[in-house]
Structure 1
């Protein structure tokens, strides 16, 4: 590795007005090194990357990139790096080829170099067949790959990528990282930000960031040492009973169900096996993942929420959501094709699938926001096409982009949603207190929503969605961009609501969250290609308790093979 650092950051900080969003960050990145900045939304990742890319000036500290001071010569830094923002920096009315040509023109790529570079990048990204397609007509994963190609066309020595795989399905994430591995193999340095903890393993070194402050920094193997001795696997015939014990134990920091018979536990203290009185057949320490590392590093937050469920209000045998051969077309495009599914009270159904699989469209149909083109569906006994108003009054819905009013306070948002859902005035205050308690949102927090952390916004959105005590709850990628500990706490809230008889349908790109669901529905090209418990899906593929990712990719490969054979 070249001895001269590509990035030298010392004591970096940034204030916006009187508010500090980043403090005391320092690191070096060498030639050919991959450096990951890992943390939840609101951690300061984008601010840090924009300072390194010379888009924002630091208010504290110093930073040199490719030998240039980002304060004194921002133009030189910007000309030599490839910076890919979270939002798409492409032109949706231009084709794939036209976007690349434009990117090359503004980067002064020599005409004789453009054609071979374009051909190489398109082949690497698998976009050769789509050169004449408008950018706006591409899937999310394809747009990300095109944006990456546009930032590689001038062959920069440093790539700066802000959450390159955010909102992208696991298959597209894998393809994106293949492109980045090729760029790394050509000697480029890569600085990337992500909220996906598993992507830290693709880094040579990692900076864990939270609330604008560094938590830890080092190689992934070094960071795992922080959590070693504090992570255990519990094998049990009764995971629900084990979780009930874990919720009340002061030794336990967090836990996640990993399969029908395994719960993974993170402890507050190392090298002390938990004497928890668990109903288990095996208890053993396991090698920490980067999710475990972040959970341990961020463990100053105090104990996880120990929610005790209220008595079940709805008979568990009652089918609350029923879709029969539902299809939805937009012109010639079939977004949802012949989907049949039923969800009972107290059941959690997880929807998995690549971008464009039809998950959000299906949820919007079941919410009464879109009428099916064919087929029928009922929610809480109401027809989604003919009784959409009654459907909407019976459900809670948290969309991908949390639909809160950011210029209102939390209390004002709660009051607005309570009124919109028809909560009687005499019950308003009690219902709001109940919803905040169930969602784990601190009722004392009355600041503007725009100033809340992503985890608190998520809880507030949940409180707003359940203030009228719905029978069915729809969650469309509710945990995108939050840290592992906040995700764990959020799923405990969902489990508590399900235990009260609420039917929950949730879509997610975090495949490990599938283990919190009673059943999984795998979607592709608008079709439901698999439906069942994780154990049943494993058995259908002939796998012996495989990872969720293996199950997901196995059914995708099978569906594609069947489509080719048809």
Structure 2
């Protein structure tokens, strides 16, 4: 079929040929060949630095390629960039809203700069606001919306001119599971109306919603296929290892060449073998009596690791009590409440966490998770009730408490202009470590978090995943009894997420208590127990199996069904 400049005659929404991009001497994308079909949701997956954001900006005609060509809706992104800009909705990771404008005013502004006619705006805005659940907050300033609401408003602003193609760079980064569900409902409805969506995401459960996926690594496209076909590539290579002696069995399996990847979950280990490999008879003999192996269905995370050119997560070294002096400590709250004026952020929460336990804390944005952690860390005083951490009262012994806890906030408290070594020395000094003890603690924490060899690198030059590991290292230098982690893996790719959780399980096996909040529901499998919060209340607490049983869900029900089921039950109870 002949192509005519200026007319969208292609059957593909996007077609790239030999697409590449350099920044100075650094090659970011190389030889990208993609065909994205009209009317599909197409996902981009890849580790940090794979080139996903650069590819999005090339498709949006924000950047020009260094080599090759991209056609978007039949228009060349260089020669016809204005035509592309007029027809594409592009939402970056740092989406732009005007905080002082209301929800409605932000939409009106987006419509004006897109030349949307008044009649079209009235119809589109009603539809979009109803789909996003924002029709009751039209007059609220954008700056006072929750993270999930802001993302939904930004998506509506990008849909107001009814673009045939939507480019979304990590749409649901940092958004709670309830808002993520709403966002994906919007995308599926948009797709079903015949439009095309390209979305990058670090969440494997979101990737399952895509019709097809492209896996990028170090600037190359390594695979393009449906989620089912990508999972099929690793079929027969995944095994669940059930054992009551996880640390001992992990020590046996950690250096086996045939094992590509090992996950230490709350109730089992999970191994992934290299293609065509089997566990050697000698290893099976060592496992006899210690563990049982059963073939398991693969997930996209295993397909991601099999395709990645990066090294699979290695088991960290064992905890050395002589260095860390970790004893572990209980975390306990007794009818704890926190109020800010008329607003109750935490409402009569009671919980007890045992030494060495990993407890996951889940809930929508604004549920009270971060407020509760700040109370446990002695950073915020409760309005009512009491809390104890490692045997110390958060109200009466807050100063002494800080030497017994580690805290890693959502925004890692690192100094970007200092090197890795300088950050470690600073935090060691802040915890009162000096001399030989400081050197030993830094050496141990660096080895534990795979930072050895990076000492002279400036923090501002590190990837998000390496900064995450450095923040963890800084928070454990003093061997805290309890470690608080507030959404520590937000936006981190599956490979680095697994590395991080391997560290957490190793620390917990040495006696450290770990209290972690997360929006990534698949991380529930790493936690011994789970607490679910809603509107400041603790609405469910128990193992994943206990939470399933409370709702009479099947044994294989996913964490999303469990999470949403408990929230919906709570909402019904509050409404009755």
Counterpart pick for 1:272 among 273, 278, 286: 278
Change (3 A) 1:418 1:309: closer
Corresponding position of 1:209: 216
Corresponding position of 2:357: 347
- How far did 1:189 drift? 1.1
Aligned counterparts of 2:357 and 2:297: Cα–Cα separation in 1: 32
- How far did 1:428 drift? 2.4
Aligned counterparts of 2:87 and 2:541: Cα–Cα separation in 1: 49
8 A Cα contact 1:321 1:380, kept in partner: yes
Q: Which moved more, 1:381-390 or 1:417-426?
A: 381-390
Alignment map for 1:227-246 (pairs within 5 Å): 227-235=234-242, 242-246=249-253
Could you tell me which runs of 5 or more consecutive residues in structure 1 were left unpaired when the two chains were aligned: none
Q: Aligned with 1:130: secondary structure? A: coil
Change (3 A) 1:220 1:146: same
- How far did 1:202 drift? 2.2
1:49 lines up with 2:49 in the alignment: no
**RMSD over equivalenced CA pairs, Å:** 2.5
Aligned counterparts of 1:464 and 1:119: Cα–Cα separation in 2: 49
1:487 lines up with 2:519 in the alignment: no
- How far did 1:236 drift? 5.1
Alignment map for 1:115-126 (pairs within 5 Å): 115-126=122-133
Q: Which moved more, 1:133-142 or 1:177-186?
A: 133-142
Counterpart pick for 1:95 among 102, 118, 137: 102
1:434 lines up with 2:440 in the alignment: no
Corresponding position of 2:3: none
Aligned counterparts of 1:220 and 1:251: Cα–Cα separation in 2: 25
Corresponding position of 2:429: 419
Q: Which moved more, 1:203-212 or 1:156-165?
A: 203-212
1:559 lines up with 2:570 in the alignment: yes
Aligned counterparts of 1:12 and 1:416: Cα–Cα separation in 2: 44
Change (3 A) 1:319 1:430: closer
Q: Which moved more, 1:441-450 or 1:518-527?
A: 441-450
- How far did 1:281 drift? 7.9
Aligned counterparts of 2:487 and 2:85: Cα–Cα separation in 1: 34
1:105 lines up with 2:115 in the alignment: no
Aligned counterparts of 1:281 and 1:503: Cα–Cα separation in 2: 25
Q: Aligned with 1:301: secondary structure? A: coil
Aligned counterparts of 1:149 and 1:24: Cα–Cα separation in 2: 33
Counterpart pick for 1:523 among 516, 533, 549: 533
- How far did 1:38 drift? 1.0
**CA distances 1:319-342 after superposition (whole Å, capped 9, x unpaired):** 432222221222222221111222
Aligned counterparts of 1:263 and 1:483: Cα–Cα separation in 2: 20
Corresponding position of 2:4: none
Corresponding position of 2:16: 9
Corresponding position of 2:524: 514
8 A Cα contact 2:44 2:198, kept in partner: yes
Counterpart pick for 1:547 among 558, 564, 573: 558
- How far did 1:117 drift? 1.0
Change (3 A) 1:3 1:201: farther
1:357 lines up with 2:367 in the alignment: yes
8 A Cα contact 1:234 1:264, kept in partner: yes
Counterpart pick for 2:67 among 55, 60, 68: 60
Corresponding position of 1:38: 45
Q: Aligned with 1:128: secondary structure? A: coil
- How far did 1:349 drift? 1.3
Q: Aligned with 2:136: secondary structure? A: helix
Corresponding position of 1:310: 320
Change (3 A) 1:16 1:195: same
Aligned counterparts of 1:214 and 1:353: Cα–Cα separation in 2: 35
- How far did 1:229 drift? 2.4
Change (3 A) 1:374 1:447: same
- How far did 1:255 drift? 3.4
